[in-house]
Amino acid sequence: MAPPARGSILRAIIVAALLIAFAWTAPLARHRWIQHVLHDDAPPRDPLRLTATSHAVFPRADRVRVVLIDGLAASVAAKQVHLHAACSRGLDLVVDVGFPTVSLPVETALWSGLTQQQSGYMFRSDTPLVPPLVGIPSQVPGSIAIAEDHGWIVRSLGFAHTEPAADPIDVTKDAAPEAWRGQWLQHARAAVASDAKLVFVHILRVDTAGHRSGRDSLLYWVAAGIADSMLDGLLEQAPDARWFLLSDHGHLTRGGHGGAEDELRQVEGCVLGPGITTKTGGPIHIVDLARALADSLGVTLAPAAHGRPLEEAMNFPLHGAQAVPAVPLGHGAFAWLMLAVGVLLAYVARRAWLAPWWFIVACVSWLVIQGEPTLSSSEMWAPSGRAMYVTWLPALAVLGAVTWVGLGRVSLARVVIAQLGLPFAAVAAAISASGAWPLLLGRAIAPVVPHFTAWLSPLILMAAHGAAVVALVVLGRSVRSGFDRHSRPETPSSAAATE
């Protein structure tokens, strides 16, 4: 076979340059995507409908006390002596907090009656609400919120008085945190015992232990036990008050939350106090609990709030993944179209060995080693993505070998399309399903939906690494072909041949 012409080598270099440019910019785009997901809000929408058939009102209470143990998994809550005893004296509930399972968004749902999708509050990692939430606490004069740590969360919820105070330079930090850790519980007990109509106590240590060591660690269970003892001391301060006890999310076995897993969404919750009967029920939605809170305090929720009367919510519990928001129909349809295009592009190979098997191997390797992508896993947010790409390195070796052989047998375009068409289409599908296309136009939104947002993180890296491997192989073949072309001996002229 004659060596390729200069034009073919030039085309190969151009294709390789374009692929290298993609391989370089795609991880940078992923970094920006992470920042948008963690800190921005989503366009508000209303995917959840909880239809109420009655207008029953939960009875009012003179004093309402709410204790939230951040990050306490339901399986661990069931083993806590004081929490279990308290819940057995009232309404013992399974509460579904919706998606995503992140503290501030879940707590805004509790105090506003609007789901995360309705408010648009997704992750808001270290991003307080400025101005604070307009919801239940802002309608109760003298309402108090006391936080053990990360006070920016309670300072975002619209309470009249919050502690700890914010750092004067950085509002995401607390003023004098070391001193506050030694006195916060005393302040919380005093607030609970006061005449304030509404007091909220936010205990954080369980969530901190979950992030450090995971749900099944000794550190997590010890933190849960300490929180349980704290709860008992708080209950003693106001035995005549109405108490709402709950968590805002659970934790994975290895630690982490944010995704739509049942073990993260469904938490222990209970309502107790004078006049409250003993009953078990659920799962109810956290916005149902928000309505019970509003009724107890005699305040109103936004007209868009879907919370049901608590008795009705217990009689008609949520089923399956009802609290998990569905992907918008248009986004989902376009995502399926992108995947169909990817499959058609893979068909360009028309030879089984030239199909994008490397991409299939990469996805399967990820699922076997790491499990299904979830927003609860720290790997999703790692800037380098090393914990992800080490799982599919063997697949890249397969890609390199197939590309090298393919370039010797079929055209450059056919090889590139066969190997990268499906991965690129999968990225486009994940972007479509999660609603991330506006990011490319410069809009600051959080494209957060169940499953597809999490898949986008590894898919971007897979496509980028695949593009880099194909580019390097194309360049290698081109360099080799170029040397072969120049080293080929020249054909003798006819004149010289006759001499």
Q: What is the pLDDT of residue 165?
A: 96
- How far is Cα 58 from Cα 307, in angstroms, rounded to an integer? 12
User: Which contacts of 333-339 are long-range, i.e. CB under 8 A and separated by 24 or more positions?
Assistant: 334/432, 335/429, 335/430, 335/432, 335/433, 335/452, 336/429, 338/425, 338/426, 338/428, 338/429, 338/432, 339/425, 339/426, 339/429
Mean pLDDT, rounded, for 317-329: 92
Mean pLDDT, rounded, for 266-273: 97
- How far is Cα 44 from Cα 117, in angstroms, rounded to an integer? 6
pLDDT tens-place string over residues 405-455: 999 999 999 999 999 999 999 999 999 999 999 998 889 999 999 999 999
Q: What is the pLDDT of residue 375?
A: 95
pLDDT tens-place string over residues 383-408: 767 777 788 999 999 999 999 999 99
Q: How many CB atoms lie within 10 A of CB 413?
A: 11
CA distances from 282 to 82, 188, 216, 266 (A): 21, 29, 25, 10
Quickly state the pLDDT bin for 477 (edges 50, 70, 90).
Answer: confident
Sign of CA dihedral 419, 420, 423, 426: negative
Quickly state the pLDDT bin for 484 (edges 50, 70, 90).
Answer: low
Lowest mean pLDDT among 16-20, 348-352, 468-472: 348-352
Q: What is the pLDDT of residue 311?
A: 93
pLDDT tens-place string over residues 141-180: 999 999 999 999 999 999 999 999 999 999 999 999 999 9
In the chain, the domains with their CATH numbers are 6-42+326-487 (no CATH), 64-315 (3.40.720.10)
Q: How many CB atoms lie within 10 A of CB 60?
A: 12
Which DSSP string corresponds to 381-414?
T-SS-HHHHGGGHHHHHHHHHHHHHHHTTS-HHH
Buried b / exposed e along 333-346 (16+ C-beta atoms within 10 A): ebbeebbebbeebb
pLDDT above 70 coverage of the chain, percent: 94
Q: When comparing pLDDT for 7 and 216, which is higher?
A: 216
Report how far apart the first and last C-alpha atoms of the chain are (Å, whole number). 29
Quickly state the pLDDT bin for 2 (edges 50, 70, 90).
Answer: very low
Judge whether residue 133 has pLDDT over 70.
yes
Quickly state the pLDDT bin for 485 (edges 50, 70, 90).
Answer: low
**Whole-prediction pTM value?**
0.91
